Amino acid sequence: MLEYTFSMIETLAVAIVLLIIGRWIKSKIFFFEKYFIPAPVIGGVIFSIFTLIGKNTGTFEFFFEGELKNLLMVTFFTTIGFLASFKLLKKGGIQVLIFLGVASGLVIIQNFVGIHLAKFFNLNPLLGIASGSIPLTGGHGTAGAFGPVLESAGATGAMSVAIASATFGLVAGCLIGGPVGKRLLLKYNLVGHKEEEFIVEGSSNKISHDKEIVTENSLFKSIVLIVISIGIGEIVNALAKKIGIILPTYIGPMLVAAVIRNIIDSKSGELPLHTINVIGNIALQLFLAMALMSLKLWELAALAVPLVVILLVQTLVMALYAYFITFRAMGKDYDAAVIATGHCGFGMGATPNAMANMESFTAANGPSPAAFFVLPLVGALFIDFVNASIITVFMNIFG
């Protein structure tokens, strides 16, 4: 068997090529566009299938340098920290706080469901977390970040399970949102709003109304803030380890970034959020491409049946949670039904899935400005932060 280890530069080059291929395929195939399958997922999975063939035929096996991948992962989550503004959370009102609580409750339930089903199948409980809130509420970015951490804790195949679960969630979240919303609409005789206009701007992981152009100055300032946050964050992680708390490598930098953001807010200072957002998105795409192209798909074979069962149960839990909990907590009105519809996409996939669910629903039943404000604000700015914290607690309990 031919074995080859790619250097850091070669790994980056392969990732970029796969990212370009993924973008091209996504532009040509409607299914990928409809369900918001990320381009690096497409390119990375294709390459991992290629390596699976090489492994199973005994022809070749590739290995990749991982330091750059880890740096890109930490960089992305550090940019998430800069979005955790308590000033914005307060400004969003009680509905934002309520939905953040509702979404956080789902995170806990998804992990409990995953862990107990994993135990039922005599699997490592950490594989239950890998099919819980990590890939579902968290999406591919969180899956790629926590997968290696779970594997290092003894959960063989956790990375492949998390990525597979995240991909499943993107599709499932879109499929169940409409039926849940329709059922609520009919049962409670809800009527949509009329003649209300709204504009929402969002992305898969973040939301920003900042139209600033990326300049050399804003880019330099953003890089300085990110690097400082990562540096101090490493110290935070080391101190936590000394007192017996094991944190994923990006938690410290993310917390430091959040502190810096809120200090700047309190001083009414300026933060180049748009540029930070751009850096984070680029880091995420390259990180995902690197993470997926090194997937060991052969590790999924023994987990196929348990994983399918776990994901089907998680889908049912999501639908029931949105129907019985999200709808009631958000006020049992039309806006609450729209949020419940969006929560199916957001709780199983990503913010764009939620937006697609809500746009489709409101196009037929009337607009909902409140829903289009509350859900993206929580989904884009706050839930990643909360999810990572809850996952860390679960890992320390069951690891």
- Residue pair 375/99 in contact (Cβ under 8 Å)? The answer is yes
Rounded CA-CA distance 217/208 in Å is 19
| Token duo for residue 113 | 């469901």
Q: How many CB atoms lie within 10 A of CB 87?
A: 13
Query: Could you tell me the pLDDT band of residue 197, with boundaries at 50, 70 and 90?
Result: very low
Query: Could you tell me the pLDDT band of residue 193, with boundaries at 50, 70 and 90?
Result: low
Phi, psi of 282 (to 5 degrees): -65, -45
Rounded CA-CA distance 267/258 in Å is 14
Report whether pLDDT(357) > 60.
Answer: yes
If you ran DSSP here, which 8-state letter would residue 70 be given? H
Q: Which of 110-113's residues contact partners 24+ apart within 8 Å by CB, and which partners?
A: 110/136, 110/137, 110/314, 110/317, 110/347, 111/390, 111/391, 111/394, 113/310, 113/313, 113/314, 113/317
Mean per-residue pLDDT of the chain: 87
pLDDT value for 36? 67
pLDDT tens for 55-85 read: 989 999 999 988 898 899 889 889 888 877 8
pLDDT tens for 204-260 read: 334 344 456 888 999 999 999 999 999 999 999 899 888 877 676 878 898 899 899
pLDDT tens for 315-345 read: 999 999 999 999 999 999 999 999 999 999 9
pLDDT tens for 8-39 read: 999 999 999 999 999 999 899 988 877 667 78
| Token duo for residue 375 | 């859900």
Rounded CA-CA distance 86/318 in Å is 28
Rounded CA-CA distance 244/166 in Å is 30
- Residue pair 303/127 in contact (Cβ under 8 Å)? The answer is yes
